[in-house]
Structure 1
Amino acid sequence: MAVLALCAGGTTLAVKPDGTLYVKARNTRLMANASATADAIAILQPGKAVTWKGADPKNKQWHRVEVDGKKGVVFQSNLAAQPPNLELITKNGEQKVDPVAYASSGAAVKGLSQGAIDYGNGKGTNYAEATKQIQKLEELAGKVGPAEMDAHARKAGLFRVVGPKETASRGRK
C-alpha cells in the first residue's frame, strides 16, 4: 500500500490512497500527465480538496489526483495534508474578506508599511540593509506584469504564466 509522507514544519504527515490533500499554491495546474509541457486540465486555487491517487510511477515529484470528476497530476510541492488558512478578517473584525480575491489583488504581498520600515531601520545595519533590499524588490515587482513574466517563463523553459482564470484552456498555442 502506497502512503504519501509530506513534511511540514519538521513533522511528517501520511496520506493513504484515496485520502484528501489540499492545494496550497495559487493557480496550481492539474496536468494531463507528468510533464511540464502537458496540457493543463484545470487551474486549482488554495484550499481546494483533491483525492490523492498516488505518486506518478515514472516521476515521483508528480502526484495523481482527482478533483471535481477530473483526473490528472499535480506537482507535489503544491499539495498539503492540511488546508491552508484562508480566513481573512478586516481591520474592524466585522467583515470577512474573500481570500482568493485578496490574493489576486496582490494586496497580500504589497509593500512594507512605514512602521515595518522604521522598525527595520532601527534594528541595526543588517535589518536596515534587508529593509532596503525588500523595498528594491517591491519597486522591481511593480514593473513586472504578466507579459514580462510569461516572456521570462518561455525563455527559461518554465511553466507558462497562468492568469487568475478558474479553468485552463486545452491545447497548446
Structure 2
Amino acid sequence: MEMKTRVAWATAVLTLALPTAAAAVKVGEPLYVKAKNTRVLASPSGSANAVAVLQPGERITWGGADAKHKQWHKVTTSTGKKGFVFQTNLSTTPPNMELVTGSGGTQQVDPKKFVASGAAVKALSPGAEQYGKDKGGDHGEAVDDIKALEALAKSVSTADIAAHVTAAGLFPVVGANDTVAKAGTNKRSGKR
C-alpha cells in the first residue's frame, strides 16, 4: 500500500474511533456541562462577559462550533441564555451520579448538589484525616501536606488564575471572575 494511502486510511480510522462531542450530536441536540462553574460567554473568547454560569450535569442545547474559533461552541441554556462554551466543558452524556454512604446505606447524589456541598473539592474527609494521623509516619505527613494544599487552593481566586494564564501566555478559558455581567455592563470597568 502506498504511503499516502496508508496515512489517509489511518486518519480515517482514528477519526471514526475517536469522535468528538461535536461529531456525536447534531445542531439542536443536547449536550451536558461537565465542569464546575462553566461560564457561558457572550462571545467566543475567554475574556468575554459571562451570560450564565453552569454546573456539572446541566443540559444545554448545542448550536455548533464557532466558524472562526472551532474550540468554542454555541449553546443555549435551559433558561434560554445564548452564548459560547469552551469545548472541553461539554459532554455527550450526563455526569455519573456521585455515590455516598451513610447510616442509611449507599445513596446517589445529584452532581450539582455534590459540587455545591464542597465535597467535590475537599481532598480529605474527617475519617480519612483521622486514619492518616493514627497510622503515623509518612501517612501523618501526607495528611498535613494535603491539608496545606487544600488551604492553598482556597486562597487562589478566579482572578488569580486568569492573571496566571495571561502571564504564562496560555489560552484564556477562565476570565477574571465567575459572575454573570449585568446586561450592557463592561465587567472589567463596571461601566455601561
Q: TM-score, normalised by structure 1?
A: 0.69
Tell me how far 1:38 sits from its aligned partner: 0.7
Tell me how far 1:74 sits from its aligned partner: 0.4
1:145 partner letter: K
Whole-angstrom distance in 2 between the partners of 1:13 and 1:87:
28
2:161 corresponds in structure 1 to 153
Whole-angstrom distance in 2 between the partners of 1:160 and 1:51:
26
Tell me how far 1:44 sits from its aligned partner: 0.7
Whole-angstrom distance in 2 between the partners of 1:88 and 1:161:
31
1:73 corresponds in structure 2 to 84
Whole-angstrom distance in 1 between the partners of 2:67 and 2:23:
21
Tell me how far 1:26 sits from its aligned partner: 0.8
Measured against aligned partners, the alpha-carbon deviations of 1:64-121 in whole angstroms (never above 9, x if no partner) come to: 0111212111000000000002354442327654543432332233234259859xx9
Helix, strand or coil: the match of 1:155? helix
1:84 partner letter: P
Tell me how far 1:56 sits from its aligned partner: 0.5
Measured against aligned partners, the alpha-carbon deviations of 1:99-144 in whole angstroms (never above 9, x if no partner) come to: 43432332233234259859xx9xxxxxx79x94x85244122144
Matched, 1:39 2:55: no
Tell me how far 1:43 sits from its aligned partner: 0.5
Q: How many residues align?
A: 152
Matched, 1:109 2:117: no
Q: TM-score, normalised by structure 2?
A: 0.63
Q: Which has the higher helix share?
A: 2
Aligned CA-pair RMSD: 3.4
Single out whichever of 31-40 and 109-118 deviates more from structure 2: 109-118
Q: Is the 8 A contact 2:41 2:48 kept in 1?
A: yes
> Which structure has the bigger radius of gyration?
2
Q: Is the 8 A contact 1:23 1:44 kept in 2?
A: yes
Q: Is the 8 A contact 1:110 1:138 kept in 2?
A: no
Deviating 4+ runs (over 6 angstroms): none
Q: 2:94 aligns with which of 66, 83, 87?
A: 83
Q: Which has the higher strand share?
A: 1
> Per the alignment, do residues 97 and 15 of structure 1 end up closer, same or farther by CA in structure 2, a change over 3 Å counting?
closer
Identical-pair percentage: 41
Gaps of 5+ in 1: 122-127
Whole-angstrom distance in 2 between the partners of 1:66 and 1:99:
20
1:49 corresponds in structure 2 to 59
> Per the alignment, do residues 31 and 87 of structure 1 end up closer, same or farther by CA in structure 2, a change over 3 Å counting?
same
Whole-angstrom distance in 2 between the partners of 1:150 and 1:14:
32
Gaps of 5+ in 2: 1-18, 167-173
Whole-angstrom distance in 1 between the partners of 2:154 and 2:90:
26
> Per the alignment, do residues 109 and 116 of structure 1 end up closer, same or farther by CA in structure 2, a change over 3 Å counting?
farther
Helix, strand or coil: the match of 1:51? strand
Single out whichever of 152-161 and 64-73 deviates more from structure 2: 152-161
